[in-house]
Each structure stands twice: as C-alpha cells, then as structure tokens.
C-alpha cells in the first residue's frame, strides 16, 4: 500500500457511526469523573434557570396586590425579592464557571493524554506502518482530530445537560403554575419532534458516509497535487484530475441529495417553534384563560417566556448532536492509530557477539510478499553486500536487521539472540544504520551528527564528518557545527546523506547497516566515502545495500535478492556467472569506459 492509499470504507456507514461513538467513549474514559461532575453541575445550572421565573411571578403577585389595595408596593419586600434574584443569578453564573473550568481542565488533560499516546504508539510502530500511512493522516490525528473533540469535552457536557434540565424544570414550573398554561408552553413540541425525527433518523450513518466521501476527495486531491509534475510530464493530467473530479462530484451529489429534504424539514421545524408562533399560542390561549378567571396576566407572561426558552435549548442540543457526530468520526480515526500493532519491547537478553543470522524469514507489506523464506548468515567482522533490482527486498531485509519491523515468520538473531529478546535500547547500542532517504532534524549540524551520542566532543564529530566527506563543507559554513539545518542552510541530498553517515559512524556500533548509503553522492565523493568506510568497517559486521556493483565489489559476501528470494550468494568472482550480478558488473564496466 502506498502512502496515498487509504483503507476501504466500511460498507455500512451506520456501523462506522456506532464504532465512532464507542471509540469516543473509550478515549474519554480517563476523564470520565470530571465529565460526570460537569454534568451534575450542568443539571444544577439548568434547574436554577427556574428561579428568575419564580421570582417574576412572585414579584408580579406583590405588585398586583399593592395595585388592588390602591397602595404603592412595599419597598423592603421588593428589595428582598430583587436580592434573591441577584443572588440566584450570581449562584448560577458561579456554577457555570466552575462547570466550564472542570471541563476545560479535562479537555487539556485529554489532549495531552491522546497526543502522548499517539507519540508513544508511533515510537513503537513498525516502519512498515509509516510506509503504508500518509503523513497527512498522522498530522490530522495529532492536530485536527484531537481538536475536533474539544467542543464535546470542554462545552457539550455542561451546555447539553443544561439544555435538557433547564427547559424541563421550567415546563414543570409552568405546570405548577397552571396545568393548562403548561400544556400551552409545549403545545408545538410534538409537531417539532415528529419533523425532527424524520430529519435525523439517518443522521449517524449519513454523517459517517459523508466522512468517507470527504476522505476520498482528500486522498485524490493529494494524489493530484503531489504528483502534478510527473503526470504533466507524461501527459496524464486528465487521469488523476478525473479521479479527483469524480470523487468531488460524488460527494457533491451525495450532499445535495441529503440536504435538500433536510432544508424543507428544517424550515418547517423552525417555523413551528419560532417566537411568533409560540407567543401566538401562549398569549392567545393565556388571554382566554385570563378572561375565564383561571390565571393571572403575570402567570401568562411567565409561561409565555418559558415557552420561548425551549427553541434555544433545542438549538443547543442540535449543535451538540452534530458535534458528537464529528467527534465520533475523529475518535475512530484516533483509535485506528492507537491500535496499530506495536513492536514488543520486553526482551532482557544481551547479544553474545555480532553474527547476524536470518532463519527462514518471510515478511509482507499487506498482501505484497517482500521476503520469502530467506535464510542468511553474516559473520562478525565481515562485509555483506545485498544487491538486486528495486523491490527485491534489500531495504526490507535492512529494516528487519535494525528491527524497524518484525518478520511475519522465521527469526532474525544478533549474536545468537533473537532481536525480539533484546531490549530496544540495547539493540541500538549494537546497530547503527544509514537509510536510503537521509532524515535530518531542524537543529544544528553538531546535534544532527551527535544524535546517537549526545556527549560526543566536537573533535570526535569532525573526525566522523571527515570520514564521511562532509567536514570541508561544515568548516566552510560561517557558523560551522552550530549551523541549523533548514534555517541557516539547505543541504543537498548528497550532503544530507554524508551527515547521516557521519552520525552512524560516531555511534561506533559493532553492526553497521548502510542502505543505499552512497545513493546521493557523486562518483568522486563516493570513492572517498568507500575509502573511509574500508578503514572503519574493520572488526564490524557491515551490511551494505546498493544498486551498483562498485560499492560492493570488495565485500566478503555478496547476496543477490530477486523477488524476495536469495538467488545468488558468494564473492564477486564466485557470482561472475550469475545473470543479474553479471549484468550489474557489466554496467559498472561500461561506466568505466
């Protein structure tokens, strides 16, 4: 699977929705207690919404009594009522503040926990997983998906709970005032509930399906943009653009078909609970009850205001429900990363020597078999060269020796000990490597070279840099070893590779794996590096991987890999009749001519 490929979407979007909600519950388990506390505070906050209405009715009663007596209202009594009103307001505000404080602290803890788990998981993940996973997916998980859940943790527990508790409490109070006024306050809700049910009955599966379509649009867009140079050069722009266009059109068609009926239903639902309709029902019906002497005008006004609270609560619940939909999809993507298989690090043994032995090793990238029943011994202190066409399994074999992945079957042993039985830190004291694609950090060159030995002196660093053929370049820089890669200077591919080689040499590990170590160097520099390596490899077990014969001609053992199998093994002279190696050596001869 390439970096731009994505796993196939589930056939049932509803299943993905349910998986997302389960993933959200799993991720938020560590903050379950503060979430529960915030919901309790949200209930209290919502119930306290009744207090102003109780005080309003009480205040209206006091004023009406004074009016009936033809006297002015009792100032002390009015002052006491207003004090209760201010006190209730302050108490409600304080509870809301504390509830949000609890949820935001929980959100900070959650973000730290998830990002820490992602980094920890990726640090133990096999290299094959990174090869098969787009870097954008990892960035989206660490940044976007974690932030997507922010609203549901930091705000939803309080606001959604209050949005339920507040109108329920107010409706109960409306019934306490008068059961007929209570019925008027909720008269339009059954119609609204029926329309909303029809609109949202497929919301979960539809949201999951939308997420799948967006993922396809994103994948084809990345494919089109990142490969634009190649596809234009070969006149195939129409193919990749066509895939992106079809994905975009599929999403647009789906979204329009989904939203058109929702717009009609939304307009009807909004109309049913609009302030105009609610006031018409409550004030009209209330006026009839006042005329019949059943209730007072103040009670009608209070219940009418209660009815106006219901649409606000519905709006909060609707937006919260949508936030939960998005959070579920984000949580599922996070869990998919957290559940990637990790390399076990439970070993406690130390290698006894530095022979490398592969015993019937097989390894696959998904359905693609990269190594097929490979058995090979690399003796301590010898140089073993791996050659073969692209895709033959050379780099895969190197990743297994460095234990960037574990074989599907068979074993890789160092010094007579299976790599899985050696602690990772101990293993990397014994094995240094230079990968095909040099990776440098945006830090000073000194720190890039000393990455494996932070305490190395400048003299040691420059000695290794000289062996790698990069010392002269470093000395030519104004800041020398303090030059920050990326900020102060940009290194060419060959220069970056030499820094990577110097890093491996500085580690002074007994085993050295060079995966296409001279791939980005010119012939003159390659010769210099090979001369330096010939001195430095003495007494070490060295594995060299190359596409050309020149870097490996003097190896103690040359292994030819084709289609994941060993098809030849021996010295350069012994492989003279091997078809692939003869062609490789012939290419070298032609190059000299």
CA-atom Rg of the chain in angstroms: 36
Span 491-513, pLDDT tens digits: 877 788 788 888 888 888 899 88
Span 458-491, pLDDT tens digits: 999 998 888 888 888 899 888 889 888 877 777 8
The crossing angle, in degrees rounded to 10, of helices 32-47 and 75-124 is 160
* Per-residue model confidence as pLDDT tens for the chain (593 residues): 333 334 444 445 567 778 888 889 999 999 999 999 999 999 999 999 888 888 888 787 777 777 767 777 778 888 888 888 888 889 999 999 999 999 999 999 998 888 888 888 877 777 666 665 656 667 777 777 888 888 889 988 998 999 999 999 989 989 999 999 999 999 988 988 888 888 777 776 777 778 778 777 777 776 666 655 554 444 444 555 677 778 888 888 888 888 877 888 888 888 888 888 998 999 999 999 999 989 888 889 888 888 888 888 888 888 888 888 888 888 888 888 888 777 777 788 999 889 999 999 999 877 888 899 999 999 988 889 899 888 888 888 988 888 888 899 999 999 999 999 998 888 888 888 877 677 788 889 899 899 888 888 999 999 888 888 888 889 988 888 988 887 777 787 778 878 888 888 888 889 988 876 665 556 666 666 666 566 667 678 889 887 766 667 778 899 999 999 999 999 888 888 888 888 887 655 444 44
Question: Which pLDDT value is given to residue 441?
Answer: 83
Q: What is the residue-wise DSSP string for 274-322?
A: SHHHHHHHHHHHHHHHHHTTSS-HHHHHHHHHHHHHHHHHHHHHHHHHH
Question: Which pLDDT value is given to residue 518?
Answer: 62
Residues 52 and 73: their CA atoms lie apart, in Å, by: 19
Question: Which pLDDT value is given to residue 251?
Answer: 85
Cα 150 to the chain's mean position, in Å? 14
Residue found under tokens 């890669």: 485
Residues 105 and 109: their CA atoms lie apart, in Å, by: 6
What's the number of CA atoms in the CB half-sphere (13 Å) around residue 131? 14
Residue 445: partners with Cβ closer than 8 Å, 6 or more residues away: 474, 477, 480, 481, 482, 483, 484, 485, 499
Residue 583: partners with Cβ closer than 8 Å, 6 or more residues away: none
Count each helix (H run) and each strand (E run) in the chain, helices first.
Answer: 24, 10
Cα 66 to the chain's mean position, in Å? 66
Q: Measuring CA to CA, which residue among 228, 133, 530, 510 is closest to residue 355?
A: 510
Stated pTM of the model? 0.64
Question: Which pLDDT value is given to residue 200?
Answer: 73
Span 133-176, pLDDT tens digits: 656 667 777 777 888 888 889 988 998 999 999 999 989 989 99
571 vs 127, 577, 588, CA distance in Å? 31, 11, 16
With beta carbons less than 8 A apart as the criterion, state whether 279 and 304 touch. Answer: yes
DSSP 3-state of 411: strand
With beta carbons less than 8 A apart as the criterion, state whether 512 and 543 touch. Answer: yes
Angle at CA of residue 571, ends 566 and 575, nearest 5°: 60
Residues 285 and 387: their CA atoms lie apart, in Å, by: 90
Question: Which pLDDT value is given to residue 7?
Answer: 40
169 vs 86, 191, 218, CA distance in Å? 20, 21, 46
Q: What is the residue-wise DSSP string for 422-455?
A: S-HHHHHHHEEEE-SS----SSBHHHHHTTS-TT
568 vs 96, 122, 558, 577, 581, CA distance in Å? 74, 36, 8, 10, 8
Residue found under tokens 């990637």: 340
With beta carbons less than 8 A apart as the criterion, state whether 408 and 487 touch. Answer: no
Span 181-224, pLDDT tens digits: 999 999 988 988 888 888 777 776 777 778 778 777 777 776 66
The residues that bridge with 545 in the sheet, in sequence order, are 386, 515
Using CB atoms within 10 A of its CB, is residue 549 exposed (0-12), middle (13-18) or buried (19+)? buried
**Dihedral sign from CA coordinates of 107, 110, 114, 119:** positive
Residues 51 and 395: their CA atoms lie apart, in Å, by: 72
DSSP 3-state of 590: helix
With beta carbons less than 8 A apart as the criterion, state whether 29 and 242 touch. Answer: no
Residues 302 and 562: their CA atoms lie apart, in Å, by: 84
DSSP 3-state of 81: helix
């Amino acid at each position: 699977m390439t970096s731009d490929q994505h796993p196939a979407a589930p056939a049932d979007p509803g299943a993905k929705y349910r998986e997302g909600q389960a993933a959200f519950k799993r991720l938020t388990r560590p903050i379950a207690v503060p979430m529960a506390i915030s919901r309790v505070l949200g209930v209290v906050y919502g119930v306290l919404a009744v207090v102003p209405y109780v005080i309003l009715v009480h205040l209206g009663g006091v004023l009406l009594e004074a009016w009936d007596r033809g006297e002015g209202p009792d100032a002390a009594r009015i002052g006491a009522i207003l004090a209760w009103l201010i006190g209730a307001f302050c108490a409600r505000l304080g509870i809301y503040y504390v509830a949000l404080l609890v949820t935001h602290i929980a959100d900070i803890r959650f973000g730290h926990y998830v990002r820490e788990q992602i980094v920890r998981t990726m640090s133990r993940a096999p290299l094959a997983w990174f090869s098969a996973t787009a870097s954008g997916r990892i960035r989206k998980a660490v940044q976007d998906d974690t932030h997507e859940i922010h609203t549901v943790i930091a705000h939803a527990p309080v606001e959604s709970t209050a949005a339920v508790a507040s109108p329920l409490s107010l409706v109960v109070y409306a019934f306490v005032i008068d059961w007929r006024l209570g019925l008027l306050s909720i008269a339009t809700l059954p119609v609204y509930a029926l329309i909303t049910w029809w609109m949202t009955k497929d919301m979960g599966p539809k949201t999951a399906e939308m997420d799948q379509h967006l993922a396809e649009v994103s994948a084809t867009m990345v494919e089109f943009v990142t490969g634009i140079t190649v596809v234009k050069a070969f006149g195939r722009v129409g193919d990749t653009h066509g895939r992106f266009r079809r994905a975009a059109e599929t999403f647009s068609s789906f979204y329009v078909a989904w939203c058109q009926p929702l717009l009609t239903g939304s307009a009807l639902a909004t109309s049913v609970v609009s302030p105009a309709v609610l006031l018409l029902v409550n004030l009209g019906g209330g006026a009839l009850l006042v005329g019949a002497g059943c209730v007072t005008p103040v009670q009608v006004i209070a219940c009418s205001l209660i009815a106006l609270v219901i649409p606000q609560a519905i709006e909060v619940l609707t937006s919260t429900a949508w936030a939960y939909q998005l959070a579920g999809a984000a949580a599922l993507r996070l869990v998919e990363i957290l559940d990637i298989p990790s390399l076990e690090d439970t070993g406690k043994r130390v290698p006894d020597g530095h022979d490398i032995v592969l015993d019937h090793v097989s390894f696959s990238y998904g359905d693609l078999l990269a190594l097929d029943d490979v058995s090979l011994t690399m003796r301590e202190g010898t140089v073993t060269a791996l050659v073969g066409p692209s895709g033959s399994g050379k780099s895969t074999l190197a990743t297994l020796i460095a234990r960037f992945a574990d074989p599907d079957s068979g074993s890789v042993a160092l010094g007579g000990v299976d790599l899985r039985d050696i602690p990772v830190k101990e293993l990397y004291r014994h094995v240094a490597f230079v990968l095909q694609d040099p990776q440098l950090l945006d830090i000073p060159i000194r720190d890039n070279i000393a990455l494996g030995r932070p305490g190395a002196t400048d003299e040691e660093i420059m000695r290794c840099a000289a062996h790698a053929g990069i010392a002269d370049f470093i000395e030519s820089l104004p800041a020398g070893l303090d030059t920050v890669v990326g900020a102060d200077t940009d290194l060419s591919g060959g220069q970056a590779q030499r820094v990577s080689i110097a890093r491996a040499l500085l580690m002074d590990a007994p085993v050295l794996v060079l995966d296409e170590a001279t791939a980005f160097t010119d012939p003159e520099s390659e010769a210099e590096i090979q001369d330096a390596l010939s001195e430095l490899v003495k007494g070490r077990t060295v594995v060299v991987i190359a596409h050309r014969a020149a870097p490996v001609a003097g190896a103690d053992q040359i292994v030819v890999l084709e289609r994941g199998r060993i098809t030849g093994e021996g010295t350069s002279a012994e492989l003279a009749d091997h078809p692939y190696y003869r062609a490789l050596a012939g290419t070298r001869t032609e190059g000299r001519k």
